Homo-oligomer: A and B are copies of this chain.
């Protein structure tokens, strides 16, 4: 049961943010896109993290494997930039993947590494992707097909605000 705030029943169509205020327990926060985004992202990631625990992967590791699988031989620097991860922080990330023999670094010239999946990495990614797809179906269960497409479209427009890392 969602909170019967029946006190003030005025239509209150003011165009400002304040209009949607005083509704829930969070006050104006309820009307803020950034706040709603953060809560949704946290909730979904929590589900995703639990989902991936079965294959001992965290979201960032999953995204790296997915990217390498889609772009075999991609340079370390390109991969890091594409995912919005600092190259310095990327080093221990792929170091762990390589330690587990899921990926391989192959020098392409004296200073660059191409990144590749190992058979073991491909096998694990296949399992992880199956888990992800069930997770994805679960969290989007309340959304229609068109609604989902619109959501992704809107999110990508939002991500394009100035200050977003380029990729």
Contact = CB atoms under 8 A, between A and B. Distances in A.
Contact of A136 (B13, B21, B22, B63): B13
Interface string A91-135: 000000000000000000000000000000000000001101111
Q: Using C-beta atoms within 8 Å of the partner chain, give the interface range for chain A.
A: 35 or more
B164 A42 contact: yes
Q: Assembly of this chain: how many copies?
A: 2
Interface in A22-41: 22, 25-41
A59 B29 CA distance: 11
Contact of A63 (B17, B29, B83, B156): B29
The listed residue with most B CB atoms (<10 A of its CB), out of A11, A145, A167, is: A145
Given A4-B145, A66-B28, A67-B29, A50 B163 contact: yes
A162 interface: yes
Contacts of A37: 37, 40-41, 44, 155
B159 A27 contact: no
Contact of A139 (B26, B41, B130, B161): B161
